[in-house]
Structure 1
Amino acid sequence: MKIHFIAIGGSAMHNLALALYQKGDVVTGSDDEIFEPSKSRLKTKGLLPEEEGWFPEKITSDLDAVILGMHAKADNPELLKAKELDVKIYSYPEFLYEQSKNKTRVVIGGSHGKTTITSMILHVMNYHEKDVDYMVGAQLEGFDTMVKMTDDNDFMVIEGDEYLSSPIDRRPKFHLYKPNIALLSGIAWDHVNVFPTYENYVEQFEIFLNEITNGGSIVYNEEDLEVTRIVEASTNPIKKYPYKTPKYSVKDGITFLETPEGPMPIEIFGGHNLNNLEGARWICQLMGIDADDFYEAIATFKGASKRLEKIAETKTAVAYKDYAHSPSKVKATTDAVKNQYPNRKLIACLELHTYSSLSPDFLKEYRGTLDSADTAVVFYSPQAVMIKQLKEIKQEQIEEAFDRDDLVVFTNPADFKTYLYSQDYENTCLLLMSSGNYGGLNLMDVKDYVEKP
């Protein structure tokens, strides 16, 4: 096939471009800005556009498909040319479905844990040399790309995001995949710019359940009351498999998972990750991996990129970075680190960076999320608030939202860095939670400060 990408530089888009190139398709693309690592990865395969910008002349009638990324706008000149020439236009999820409609589609959905659960499944499959197609939202150890597509594999494992499909398709991505096997990890209101009410957000997951093929399966987290409610209420003729957090213990900073063969040390930690693990075990079972083989493989799983990723460690200090930004993820991650290191001081730092987290009306959802931390720090950029055209947020609103009198709040990146680099990290855990970078924080500098003698 001859395929053109409008906004090829995106994290998901450039990985799909690389996957199709590997498959043997002819791939071209455009974008008005491309950052690392997309830039280098596209360049290595000869797919980096010669010039940044939009070029309608790249859209020709001999194209088999145009794939439209979320970064593009509805009036994009290349998109308008594709419409004029009646070239087939796909959103990212539409194209994934088109490529996998004759496969068994396994879709992992939920407000949190999607990337980790998908990564666990792929790790287990890779460990046992079972080849599957996939799309996952993080770079995984042992995998060249975040997307793989073949003509021959039986399974396609997809991380099912509830965000919008494209600038001209306002449906949530995971409504388009029509899974044969699905998982629902949890529901916690997010993306308030798209789903203005909690009820509207929950409705998207009800639609997701209805899109599961007749006779298909839903694996669901029964510890989440909203998930249980909507799954039990669903009249879709599907098989329903509940799961819950397995038994585990923590000793000397090591987590042991209870298995039929006894306690087994694992690399990951935190109740939320053990819950994710159990969901992955059920999915792997439905894909033909028995429990013994699952446990053997999962013992070596170190986690997905940016998910409780260890960035520094000494005998008495440790630092983690995590992608957590929504309230449920922030609480689960903070609790996990404190439970793993109960005798160490925990400094938890959260950057409010997303549209939801910077919305004054949504801030109250963060109440109590940092309670496990001995020192709680919040950083946000007033400039980011302006760029997103949101109401101004005052420091008092942040303090009131988190309901901590001792909350430390920073709005200046330099002040935040000075604070971090002035701390004594003896017998301490540092947790950095953000989908951004705290205004340009260098993690190698953090590593040096935490590990300095």
Structure 2
Amino acid sequence: MKTHFIAIGGSAMHNLAIALKDKGYQVTGSDDAIFEPSKSRLEKKGILPQEMGWFPEKITADIDAIILGMHAHQDNPELARAKELGLKIYSYPEYLYEQSKNKTRVVIAGSHGKTTITSMILHVLNFHQKDVDFMVGAQLEGFDCMVKLTQDNDFMVLEGDEYLSSPIDLRSKFLLYQPNIALMSGIAWDHINVFKTFDDYIEQFRKFVASITPGGVLVYNEEDTEVVKVVEAAENYFRKIPYKTPEYEISNGKVYLKTEMGDVPLSVFGAHNLLNMEGARHICRQLGIMDEDFYEAIMSFKGASKRLEKVERADKGTLYKDFAHAPSKVKAAVKAFCEQFKKEKKYGFLELHTYSSLNPVFLEQYDHAMDGLDEAVVFYSEDALKIKRMDPISPELIKEKFKNEGLRVFTNAEELHAYWETLDKAHGVFLMMSSGNFGGLDLTK
């Protein structure tokens, strides 16, 4: 099987390319820029493009599948050549379905928590040496590649993203998977640049539920009112399994899950993580993992990459980084952090740099998101606004939308870094929330 990737360097795309190479496929690709760690990982497998750019001559009639990444544009010259030749062109999710259409597909969806839940499921399955195919959006301990594709495995576990599939396929990715078993963790408006209204966004989840195969299973968060509305309105036939936050307690800084088998010590914290864990437990049940075996495995789960992930610092200071940037994720991370560290002085930093988070209309969603912290800081770059061709935003507007008078707002990275240097990292605890890097701030120092 000969495959060619247009925009091979993306975090998802390069993992799929590696998985296909490992499966024995002939893999080539192009991109106009490839960064680490994608670059080194592709090079190690011998599939890093020799030069950057788009080369229509790479597109030949003997290619079985063209896989098109979101980074490519509609006028991409390689894409144009593939169309000329009448080649089969797949989006990333479309090709994953092609690879799993004869398997039982387990799809984890939701505005928040889907990466963590998928990671928990894979951790438990790996712990008990139950082999499955999978795709997940974060680097996991004990896994070399975030996509695994085989001929023989019966199950494929997929993280289901509601974002667009490709430049020429504007369907949400998770609508292409047709799950046999699904989970929906929560619905909170996101990707405002694509889904202009909340109802437009919710509609993607209605379609997702409608895509569950007849007689399938949906595990869903019964504490989320929007999820419940979608599930109750569904007209197709599937089995419904609700879940909610389990009982737990915090003792001497350690979280213990209350179960029928006794208290189970955990390596993660936060009510949202325990809610995610409960969803993962129900999915694992569907995959033949008994509760006792689930609890045995989940004790050693330390979290998905960049999800309340502890950063080791030279000064032994307590610092966690979190990918949180959408309002619901920020609120969950802050709540968990404040609950875990009740006695310490708590600092929270949030970087706004996505299209949604920098939209004045969407900023309303961040009301009280940073409440409970002793020091709350929001950073956004005025240069980023210019690059995105967005109107300037005043620090006063940020404070107003967050409904937090004590909020510190920085729009210049140098000033933010100078403030950071004034803080005593050995005293207090720090929560750093961003899908970026705070203008190059080194969190290890």
**TM-score class, shorter:** over 0.9
Conservation of the 8 A alpha-carbon contact between 2:315 and 2:425: no
Q: Decide whether aligned partners of structure 1 residues 249 and 25 sit closer, same or farther in structure 2, where only a CA change above 3 A counts.
A: same
Partner of 1:404: 404
Q: For residues 388-417 of structure 1, what are the alpha-carbon distances to aligned partners after superposition, in whole Å with 9 as ceiling and x for unaligned?
A: 222211111111011111110111111111
Secondary structure of residue in 2 paired with 1:443: coil
Moved more, 37-46 or 258-267: 258-267
Amino acid at match of 1:166: S
Partner of 1:200: 200
Structure 1: gaps of 5 or more residues: 446-453
1:136 shift after superposition? 0.1
Tell me if 1:359 matches 2:387: no
Q: Decide whether aligned partners of structure 1 residues 51 and 317 sit closer, same or farther in structure 2, where only a CA change above 3 A counts.
A: closer
Distance in 1 of aligned mates of 2:444 and 2:272:
28
Would you say how many aligned residue pairs link Structure 1 and Structure 2?
445
Partner of 2:141: 141
Distance in 2 of aligned mates of 1:387 and 1:236:
45
Identity, % of aligned positions? 63
Matches within 5 A, 1:145-224: 145-224=145-224
Amino acid at match of 1:147: V
Amino acid at match of 1:53: G
1:424 shift after superposition? 2.2
Structure 2: gaps of 5 or more residues: none
Amino acid at match of 1:203: E
Conservation of the 8 A alpha-carbon contact between 1:316 and 1:428: no
Partner of 2:245: 245
Distance in 1 of aligned mates of 2:150 and 2:75:
33
1:260 shift after superposition? 1.5
Q: Decide whether aligned partners of structure 1 residues 241 and 78 sit closer, same or farther in structure 2, where only a CA change above 3 A counts.
A: same
1:112 shift after superposition? 0.1
Conservation of the 8 A alpha-carbon contact between 1:160 and 1:174: yes
Conservation of the 8 A alpha-carbon contact between 2:313 and 2:444: no
Distance in 1 of aligned mates of 2:271 and 2:304:
16
Distance in 2 of aligned mates of 1:308 and 1:15:
23
1:425 shift after superposition? 3.3
Matches within 5 A, 1:336-355: 336-355=336-355
Tell me if 1:392 matches 2:392: yes
Instruction: Name the TM-score, length of structure 1 as normaliser.
Output: 0.97
Distance in 1 of aligned mates of 2:401 and 2:3:
47
Secondary structure of residue in 2 paired with 1:444: coil
Amino acid at match of 2:401: A
CA root-mean-square deviation:
1.1
Secondary structure of residue in 2 paired with 1:74: coil
* Structure 1 moving runs of 4+ over 4 Å: 313-317
Tell me if 1:372 matches 2:375: no
Distance in 2 of aligned mates of 1:338 and 1:345:
10
1:426 shift after superposition? 4.6
Distance in 1 of aligned mates of 2:295 and 2:77:
51
Partner of 1:450: none
Q: For residues 346-386 of structure 1, what are the alpha-carbon distances to aligned partners after superposition, in whole Å with 9 as ceiling and x for unaligned?
A: 10000001110011111111000100211110000111111
Distance in 1 of aligned mates of 2:22 and 2:408:
48
Distance in 2 of aligned mates of 1:6 and 1:67:
6
Q: For residues 68-100 of structure 1, what are the alpha-carbon distances to aligned partners after superposition, in whole Å with 9 as ceiling and x for unaligned?
A: 000000000000000000110000000000110
Instruction: Name the TM-score, length of structure 2 as normaliser.
Output: 0.99
Matches within 5 A, 1:15-164: 15-164=15-164
Partner of 1:232: 232
Partner of 2:288: 288
Amino acid at match of 2:386: M
Distance in 1 of aligned mates of 2:120 and 2:354:
26
1:443 shift after superposition? 2.3
Q: Decide whether aligned partners of structure 1 residues 314 and 260 sit closer, same or farther in structure 2, where only a CA change above 3 A counts.
A: farther
